[in-house]
Amino acid sequence: MGLMLEGVYRPEDPAPGSADDGSFQRAKSTVRNWIAPSDNRSKLGRGRYHLYAAWNCPWAHRVLLVRAVKGLSAEIGVSYALPRRTEDGWVYDDDPAFGVRALHEVYARIRPGYTGRVTVPLLWDMAEDRGVSNESADLVRMLDAAFPDRGPNLAPAALVADIDAWNKDIYAGLNNGVYRAGFARTQDAYEAGCRDVFATLNRIEDRLSASPYLCGDTLTEADLRLFPTLARFDVAYHGAFKCNIRRLVDYPATWAYARRIYALPEVADTVRFDVYKAGYYSPSPQRNPLGIVPLGPEIDWSLPADVAPDTVRLADA
């Protein structure tokens, strides 16, 4: 993914680091500012913020989902990276914000001598010419709060404790768990990650067997943080990351839930199954040395879910 060291971009092996026991270690986000304060929102609106994303990145997908369900496409522009990284990391054919070719050119604007990984998502404040954040969890919550009059309230006060509990559980066991399995360097590390993935999916299945969404009958932030992993599960994680004890389609309640979210307005436009396969099956000395991309599986996400989207309540803004 590349690294900036004292303002200079350096290509590096795309395989992530691992601990002495072979387990995957995710790097921490390095840009952790917040959106403009309420007393500086006179310029909040069309073109104020710009998002650097990649179709195959699940962390960027979270932010694209918030943008979609809250109807913020006019307010937040997006630059979409090409499916596969190059020696320049994430690269762009068309960047309407700064006209850059590579994402590290944007990171160089953050501050002189910037040091850190060059990752998506990255939200840029065009009015103040500053990087806001490259932490997806922060971006999901701040964008929801910054546009309270647009779309559903994704973190109603009465549900925040439940949302936070699900976020914590799902991140550790599933969102990051698939990477702990896929990037493991030892058998024990792989098995630990893989077993956590399916233990978490079992808990999710139990919950969704009794409720249309994780926190009841209301779509929340927790659902939008879970959905990107589900969308990639059968086409990528099941094969490329060896998370193959079961498939998403083997969980009746969770599979119906995933299709329910997919059917919500504008959500399908954030999904690119072909790009997921091309990205996760890209050439890798450890996982896929020949870079062969499988033809399958063929899965119909348009099948009706057990509850129609228009019968499920969205929280009021």
Return per-residue pLDDT of the chain as tens, 317 residues. 678 888 899 887 444 555 556 555 546 657 878 786 554 545 556 788 999 999 999 999 999 999 999 999 988 999 999 988 888 999 999 999 999 999 999 999 998 899 888 999 999 999 889 999 999 999 999 999 998 989 999 999 999 999 999 999 999 999 999 999 999 999 999 999 999 999 999 999 999 999 999 999 999 999 999 999 999 999 999 999 999 999 999 999 999 999 999 999 999 999 999 999 999 998 888 889 999 999 999 999 998 876 444 444 545 54
> 62 and 138 in contact (C-beta within 8 Å)?
no
> 44 and 150 in contact (C-beta within 8 Å)?
no
pLDDT digits (tens, 9 = 90+) for 24-58: 554 665 787 878 655 454 555 678 899 999 999 99
- Nearest by Cα to 57 from 102, 120, 133, 125: 120
Tokens of 54: 């990649």
Q: In b/e form, how buried is each residue of 50-76, taking b as 16+ CB within 10 angstroms? A: bbbbbbbbbbbbbbbbbbbbbebeebb
Tokens of 292: 């062969």
pLDDT for res 23: 54
**57 labelled catalytic:** yes
CB atoms within 10 A of CB 24: 22
pTM: predicted TM-score of the whole model, two decimal places: 0.89
pLDDT for res 3: 82
Tell me which of 49, 57, 194, 281 is the catalytic residue: 57
Eight-state DSSP code of residue 196: H
- Nearest by Cα to 2 from 24, 21, 27: 27
pLDDT for res 71: 94
Helix (H, G, I), strand (E, B) or coil at 3: strand
> 64 and 122 in contact (C-beta within 8 Å)?
no
pLDDT for res 68: 97
Query: Which DSSP string corresponds to 99-128?
Result: --SBHHHHHTTTSTT--EE--S-EEEETTT
Tell me which of 52, 80, 179, 213 is the catalytic residue: 179
Q: In b/e form, how buried is each residue of 146-171, taking b as 16+ CB within 10 angstroms? A: bbeeebbbbbbeebeeebeebbebbb
pLDDT digits (tens, 9 = 90+) for 75-134: 899 999 998 888 899 999 999 999 999 999 999 999 889 988 899 999 999 988 999 999
Give the sheet arrangement for strand 130-133, strand by strand.
Answer: 76-81, 49-54, 122-125, 130-133
